Amino acid sequence: MERNLSFNLHVLTARLDRAADRILRAEHNISYSRFLALTLVGELGASTQRALADSLGVTEPSVSRMTGVLAAEGLLDVQPDPAGGRRRRLSLTDEGKRLVASVQQGFEERLAALVAHSGVPYDEYVEHTTRLLATFDRLEREGAR
């Protein structure tokens, strides 16, 4: 077995991202990056643009532009932070919540079918992926000390 996990993970992630973008644009008229932003806002609760930028790994100006578009489309509510300053608080609108819930269900089913088609047991794949993410989270927390 060739040991090139770093490259294979990169290729797999890039292919999944491109496939997700094609599917979401064709079926829901939204890009994958915007869908991820909506999903993260929904999971983080009423978050800030800074928290969203950190979660997406992009700049705050990039998130500011994206949140403006999502707000204009009626999917995201952007309000000044009660603490003041230039920060903005984010929350999903009812339409944003409906879109995220609708897309997530169909998307998860497609991913489960892809994993099953590969011969990899879905439950095991989810378990291993969850363990890897938890390890990264733990290592990042320990490194921040």
User: What are the residue ranges spanned by the domains of the chain?
Assistant: 8-143
Assigned CATH for 8-143: 1.10.10.10
- Supply the pTM of this predicted model: 0.82
Q: What band does 65 get if pLDDT is binned at 50, 70 and 90?
A: very high
Q: How much is the pLDDT for 62? A: 94
Task: Work out the average pLDDT over 11-33.
Answer: 92
Residue 46 scores a pLDDT above 70? no
Judged against a pLDDT cut of 60, whether residue 145 lies above it is answered with no
pLDDT at 138: 92
Structural tokens at position 91: 């929350």
Cβ-Cβ contacts under 8 Å for 137 (sequence gap 6 or more): none
Q: What is the pLDDT of residue 144?
A: 60
The confidence score (pLDDT) of residue 69 equals: 96
